[in-house]
Amino acid sequence: MTDPTSTTTSIDAALEQHLDTTQAARLESYQAFLRIPSISALPEHAHDVRAAAEWLADALRTAGVGHVEVAETGGHPVVYGDWLHADGAPTVLIYGHYDVQPVDPLDLWTSPPFEPVIEGDRMLARGAADDKGQVHAHVMAAAALSATRGAFPVNVKYVFEGEEESSSVNLAAWLETNRDRLAADAAIISDTGFFEGNLPAITVSLRGLLYTQIDVIGSPVDLHSGGYGGAVQNPANALAQIIAALKGPDGRIRIPGFYDEVVALTDEERAALDALPFDEAAYQASIPVTALVGEAGFSTLERRATRPTLDVNGIWGGFQGTGAKTIIPAHAHAKVSCRLVADQDPDVIFERLRAFVQEIAPPGVTVAVQFLGGGRASLTPLDHPITQAGARALEAVFGRPPVFIREGGSIPVTASFASVLGLPVVLLGFTQPHENAHAPDEWMSLANYEGAIRAIVRTLDEIAALPR
Amino acid sequence: MTDPTSTTTSIDAALEQHLDTTQAARLESYQAFLRIPSISALPEHAHDVRAAAEWLADALRTAGVGHVEVAETGGHPVVYGDWLHADGAPTVLIYGHYDVQPVDPLDLWTSPPFEPVIEGDRMLARGAADDKGQVHAHVMAAAALSATRGAFPVNVKYVFEGEEESSSVNLAAWLETNRDRLAADAAIISDTGFFEGNLPAITVSLRGLLYTQIDVIGSPVDLHSGGYGGAVQNPANALAQIIAALKGPDGRIRIPGFYDEVVALTDEERAALDALPFDEAAYQASIPVTALVGEAGFSTLERRATRPTLDVNGIWGGFQGTGAKTIIPAHAHAKVSCRLVADQDPDVIFERLRAFVQEIAPPGVTVAVQFLGGGRASLTPLDHPITQAGARALEAVFGRPPVFIREGGSIPVTASFASVLGLPVVLLGFTQPHENAHAPDEWMSLANYEGAIRAIVRTLDEIAALPR
């Protein structure tokens, strides 16, 4: 990778010099942000999420974004900030999220997840990549612009969410309510990353998500497996039976109607995907797993980015300790989620999943399926001027044109920005692949982080220069 | 049920009077025993298990059992005691266990499991029934005999185990080592209970047990279900698939060869079982479950006592918290156990289970099956003099002849007593059905507990009176 600190031609010299001289303070600020355990999914961390919001709002103010507020959503707050003094210039909405994933299993972290440490090129901490690192890069880009130019090249509106890792349950309503003041010409979402081999990339599609919980209830208390075994349904066996029935050995999901609305790739799209420099063996070795496994008839890249999935995210019931406890568990549970693709509707897919689970539920237990969240997949146009502006910025900073990729993850706001606000969106993200987002030892490449700040400035300059 | 305290004809008047006047102290002692959290399966309770052993040894000494020791086994100790001064009388080995099951889920207990409380006729605590209550009844019977007669009617050898709830992993070897000093004419095992409706019962068969753990390992860390979902095998889905394949919708276990050694019931045995006063609807309502479910072609009584089973005792993997975490778990696990019947060998069944699991394991994950313990089923002869002596004692104390039943649970020592020591065994147990052994709110009927003390004395008297 090109050393971003040497690409002084990509941004103006004063700004580059400012970034050079402020790096130590910048990394300290980054670490301070990472120290706040803003886990949005866990109610016991609600005050930490709010503390992170307040911290971020202060950082935006310090960065010269004149109007900043911590906006209530009914759940965790949105940090909103704007600078609107670039008369006649376009307005860009910038999105990231300051909440993070839970940290279990804690014992697999090399260092505590909320005590960030720098090891070589890596910042190690929960949120270092997803997504506090990228949010922080935007704040530092703003600070650099304020310090060196006293102004932004475009009007900017920052929307930093606190519930992205909790299915963005309140964001769509908040966007709807604030539709007028969020008016803009385009949106930049920074919550994605580079392609395998750390190739600069712009993501042109994201999968949607349906997140559910299946609860299987038997007797009110655990039963002695000797006294009752053989005479009653076992909720954990029943749960396994239900989960096993959801997917066939060919990797196809067996929920009736599940694939009905899936838009197939065109031959052209498939060819573009196949043309990406993807080393399947290296990918497998990097995880590592003993085999890559998925839906029959599709390549690994197709499976992970263009096909819907069904995964158990967690399962539990009965005795989990050392040794033996001879019980029939009173109940068993699983978190089951589907990644969705265009044009699957999470509400429709949930209803089909729920109905199918009820249909296959064995006798002697009570089975319920809870909806825990969902969002639609998104597809963004490759040829939009803002996408092309981002591509030019990436090439200028990182030394090669970006590849255009489809990502398997979900950023619920992407679909909302398009549907609620009617904005064109560019997914401009900077993390390296295999950065352990959602896993122990999450990390961010500091070269990518530093490059991100420069690429963000350059993207805003490129947008300002677009013909109106 | 006959009030045992009024059946003064069942034991001698002096002994009855002693029991009447010492009841308050006896219940206090019972509660003190229950307060020791002797959970043998959990390493962190090892010192509690030893404390319970020491407490029990002291109680035996106080009860007049002259020679008592806490005997090392390599695991949790055996409490051994003997009184061998009944010259010319038979020698009876008495077995119970002072260890208890784990207590989770703790939040379902009405009162803390190791703070015993008396509610009406019930002593509520972990171990109240299984098996500290029965062990304590034996100690109190010894104390009453010592106090009123200064002697026992027979020679007695007490073997109180501390690992019954951990598959008795060290007991068979300890019995083997101590074979000579354990020489006896018969054994009484008190770890069973009465039949539905609290009918006095003697258990004539017990199921065996095979306890295993299935471990499914994928990547070294949890993976983001967006970035990797669809491209890798999910260990939790794979585990569900494996478990589901172990049993068919007809309740038949699908492990090849699983039923090969099962001894079918004779028509006569089946008729005797069907003749028991068993109210299936009341049984279902007492649990309660929405349906009784089991192997096709067998009645509920047959299923729970005469047929082998396969149950998941616990399952876990990935995210179990509130809300959503979008991961593919790095690994998933299940405790899976089989109740066995004569003549299934736990080692042979384990090997067949292990081989089948490996055969059906899907690609992309590593699957291991651990052996955590096992014991053979046992069948005891109905017409043995000691069984008949126990039956007469139960009738004398509880006012009606006992029914002879087959139980679904396992007491590993039963098979060991027969095979290692060559002893005839009578399973003389006193708990009420539905006493929540292995579940929250375990309880013992105090009427049964008091009756047990009297029935134990009477059984020893009946054995002393047997023709030699």
Domains and CATH numbers, chain B: 4-206+378-464 (3.40.630.10), 208-262+308-375 (3.30.70.360)
Q: Do A293 and B320 touch (CB under 8 A)?
A: no
Three-state SS at A160: strand
Q: How buried is residue B74: exposed, middle or buried, by Cβ count under 10 Å (0-12/13-18/19+)? A: exposed
* Residue A4's pLDDT band (cuts 50, 70, 90): very low
Residue reference for tokens 């585990």: B239
Single-letter residue type at A369: V
Cβ proximity of B456 and B141 under 8 Å: yes
Interface with chain B: mutation pick from A45, A108, A335, A366, highest number of B CBs within 10 Å? A335
The pairing of strands A155-161 and A78-83 is antiparallel
The average confidence (pLDDT) of chain B is 94
Of B166, B221, B324, the CB nearest to A108: B221
Q: What is the mean pLDDT of residues B338-344?
A: 94
Instruction: Report DSSP state, residue B135.
Output: H
Q: Do A222 and B321 touch (CB under 8 A)?
A: no
Q: What is the pLDDT of residue B381?
A: 72
The nearest alpha carbon in chain B to A333 belongs to: B320
Please list every residue in chain A whose beta carbon sits closer than 8 Å to the beta carbon of residue B221: 108, 436, 439-441
pLDDT of B7 > 60? The answer is no
Please list every residue in chain B whose beta carbon sits closer than 8 Å to the beta carbon of residue A373: 324
Q: How far apart are CA B455 and CA B465, in angstroms?
A: 15
- Note the helical H segments in B292-411: 300-305, 346-360, 385-398
Of A166, A231, A326, the CB nearest to B337: A326
Cβ proximity of A125 and A115 under 8 Å: yes
The average confidence (pLDDT) of chain A is 94
Q: How far apart are CA B308 and CA B408, in angstroms?
A: 9
Please list every residue in chain A whose beta carbon sits closer than 8 Å to the beta carbon of residue B438: 222-225, 325-327
Could you tell me what percent of chain B has a pLDDT over 90? 83
Instruction: Report DSSP state, residue B318.
Output: E
Of B166, B318, B439, the CB nearest to A314: B318
Residue reference for tokens 């007991």: B171
pLDDT of B377 > 50? The answer is yes
CA B409 to chain A, closest CA, distance in angstroms equals 4
Q: What does the pLDDT look like over A231-259, one tens digit per residue?
A: 999 999 999 999 999 999 999 999 999 99
CA B215 to chain A, closest CA, distance in angstroms equals 12
Please list every residue in chain B whose beta carbon sits closer than 8 Å to the beta carbon of residue A334: 236, 240
pTM for the predicted model, two decimal places: 0.80
Give the HSE-up count for residue B155: Cα atoms under 13 Å, Cβ half-sphere.
Answer: 16
Q: What is the pLDDT of residue A380?
A: 77
Q: How far apart are CA B65 and CA B58, in angstroms?
A: 10
Instruction: Report DSSP state, residue B258.
Output: T
Q: What is the mean pLDDT of residues A355-367?
A: 98
Q: Do A319 and B102 touch (CB under 8 A)?
A: yes
pLDDT of A266 > 50? The answer is yes
Q: What is the mean pLDDT of residues A14-21?
A: 96
Enumerate the β-bridge partners of residue A374.
A210
Q: Do B335 and A315 touch (CB under 8 A)?
A: no
Distances (CA, A) of A111 to A118, A336, B18, B357: 11, 30, 65, 36
The pairing of strands A311-318 and A331-340 is antiparallel
Q: What is the mean pLDDT of residues B314-333?
A: 96
pLDDT of A1 > 60? The answer is no
Give the HSE-up count for residue B104: Cα atoms under 13 Å, Cβ half-sphere.
Answer: 15
Q: What is the pLDDT of residue A168?
A: 87
pLDDT of B329 > 80? The answer is yes
Q: How far apart are CA A237 and CA A243, in angstroms?
A: 10
Q: What is the mean pLDDT of residues A133-138?
A: 98
Q: Do A408 and B221 touch (CB under 8 A)?
A: no
The nearest alpha carbon in chain B to A316 belongs to: B316
pLDDT of B332 > 50? The answer is yes
Cβ proximity of B315 and A239 under 8 Å: yes
Q: What is the pLDDT of residue A384?
A: 86
Please list every residue in chain B whose beta carbon sits closer than 8 Å to the beta carbon of residue A224: 409, 437-439
Cα–Cα nearest to B117, from B192, B220, B30, B225? B30
Q: How far apart are CA A74 and CA A91, in angstroms?
A: 27
- Note the helical H segments in A41-123: 46-62
CA B70 to chain A, closest CA, distance in angstroms equals 23
Q: Do A314 and B337 touch (CB under 8 A)?
A: no
Q: How far apart are CA B51 and CA B25, in angstroms?
A: 21
The nearest alpha carbon in chain A to B374 belongs to: A324
Asked whether the bond before A131 is cis by omega within 30 degrees of 0, the reply is yes
Single-letter residue type at B93: L
pLDDT of A465 > 60? The answer is yes
B419 or B465, greater pLDDT = B465
Q: Do B324 and A221 touch (CB under 8 A)?
A: no
* Residue B438's pLDDT band (cuts 50, 70, 90): confident
CA B137 to chain A, closest CA, distance in angstroms equals 22
Q: What is the mean pLDDT of residues A392-416?
A: 90
pLDDT of A136 > 80? The answer is yes
Q: How far apart are CA A263 and CA A266, in angstroms?
A: 9
Q: What is the pLDDT of residue A17?
A: 96
Please list every residue in chain A whose beta carbon sits closer than 8 Å to the beta carbon of residue B327: 313-314, 438-439
Of B234, B239, B364, the CB nearest to A290: B364
The pairing of strands B208-217 and B366-375 is antiparallel
Q: What is the pLDDT of residue B9?
A: 58
pLDDT of B167 > 90? The answer is no
Q: Do A315 and B236 touch (CB under 8 A)?
A: yes
Could you tell me what percent of chain A has a pLDDT over 90? 83
**The token pair that represents A372 in the structure block:** 């825990």
The nearest alpha carbon in chain A to B410 belongs to: A226
> For residue A393, what are the contacts with CB-CB under 8 A and spacing of at least 6?
A10, A428, A455, A456, A458, A459, A461, A462
Interface with chain A: mutation pick from B38, B205, B300, B335, highest number of A CBs within 10 Å? B335
pLDDT of A217 > 60? The answer is yes
Q: End-to-end distance of chain B based on CA atoms, in angstroms?
A: 34
Q: How far apart are CA A21 and CA A30, in angstroms?
A: 16
Q: Do A315 and B313 touch (CB under 8 A)?
A: no
Q: What does the pLDDT look like over B280-302, one tens digit per residue?
A: 999 999 999 999 999 999 999 99
Q: How far apart are CA B262 and CA A459, in angstroms?
A: 74
Of the listed ranges A17-31, A99-113, A269-283, B308-322, the one predicted with least confidence = A269-283
- Note the helical H segments in B221-306: 225-228, 235-246, 267-274, 280-286, 300-305
Cα–Cα nearest to B202, from B424, B466, B447, B438? B424
Q: Do B337 and A315 touch (CB under 8 A)?
A: no
CA A22 to chain B, closest CA, distance in angstroms equals 33
Q: How far apart are CA B241 and CA B212, in angstroms?
A: 17
The pairing of strands A331-340 and B91-97 is unpaired
How many other CB atoms sit within 10 Å of the CB of residue B71?
15
Residue reference for tokens 């002259």: B66
Of B104, B244, B295, the CB nearest to A230: B295
At B29, give phi and psi (nearest 5°): -65, -45
**What b-and-e string marks burial along A261-289, b requiring 16 or more CB atoms within 10 Å of the CB?**
ebeebeeebbebbeebebeeeebbeebeb
Cβ proximity of B56 and B99 under 8 Å: no
Residue reference for tokens 């670039």: A86
Q: How buried is residue B254: exposed, middle or buried, by Cβ count under 10 Å (0-12/13-18/19+)? A: middle
Of B292, B366, B436, the CB nearest to A221: B436
pLDDT of B5 > 60? The answer is no
Cα–Cα nearest to A428, from A121, A94, A4, A58? A94
Q: How far apart are CA B333 and CA B353, in angstroms?
A: 16
Q: What does the pLDDT look like over B50-89, one tens digit per residue?
A: 999 999 999 999 999 999 999 999 999 999 999 999 999 9
Interface with chain A: mutation pick from B108, B216, B225, highest number of A CBs within 10 Å? B225
Cβ proximity of A7 and A400 under 8 Å: no
Q: How far apart are CA B214 and CA B331, in angstroms?
A: 11
DSSP string for residues in A14-38: HHHHHHHHTHHHHHHHHHHHHTS--
Q: What is the pLDDT of residue B169?
A: 86
Cβ proximity of A387 and A201 under 8 Å: no
Q: What is the mean pLDDT of residues B361-371?
A: 98
Residue reference for tokens 């753990």: B213
Q: What does the pLDDT look like over A155-175, one tens digit per residue?
A: 999 999 999 998 788 998 999
Could you tell me what percent of chain A has a pLDDT over 70? 98
* Residue B4's pLDDT band (cuts 50, 70, 90): very low
* Residue A9's pLDDT band (cuts 50, 70, 90): low
Please list every residue in chain A whose beta carbon sits closer than 8 Å to the beta carbon of residue B165: 324-326
Q: End-to-end distance of chain A based on CA atoms, in angstroms?
A: 34
Q: What is the mean pLDDT of residues B426-432?
A: 96
Please list every residue in chain A whose beta carbon sits closer than 8 Å to the beta carbon of residue B209: 226, 326
Q: What is the pLDDT of residue A2?
A: 39
The nearest alpha carbon in chain A to B334 belongs to: A320
Q: What is the pLDDT of residue B73?
A: 97
Cβ proximity of B167 and B412 under 8 Å: yes
Q: Do B230 and A165 touch (CB under 8 A)?
A: no
**The token pair that represents A145 in the structure block:** 């612009």
- What is the gyration radius of the CA atoms in chain B, in angstroms? 23
CA A340 to chain B, closest CA, distance in angstroms equals 10
Q: How far apart are CA A40 and CA A394, in angstroms?
A: 31
Q: Which helix (H) or strand (E) holds A272?
A: helix A267-274
Cβ proximity of B103 and B109 under 8 Å: yes
Q: How far apart are CA B167 and CA B213, in angstroms?
A: 14
Distances (CA, A) of A5 to A12, A17, A453, A454: 12, 9, 10, 9
Q: What does the pLDDT look like over B188-242, one tens digit per residue?
A: 999 999 998 899 999 988 999 999 999 999 999 999 999 899 999 999 999 999 9
Q: How far apart are CA A86 and CA A64, in angstroms?
A: 14
Cα–Cα nearest to B194, from B141, B145, B133, B114? B133
Beta strands in A256-330 (DSSP E): 311-318, 327-328
Three-state SS at A141: helix
Q: What does the pLDDT look like over A144-154, one tens digit per residue?
A: 999 999 999 99
Q: What is the pLDDT of residue B196?
A: 87
Residue reference for tokens 């043309």: A275
**The token pair that represents B410 in the structure block:** 């396992």
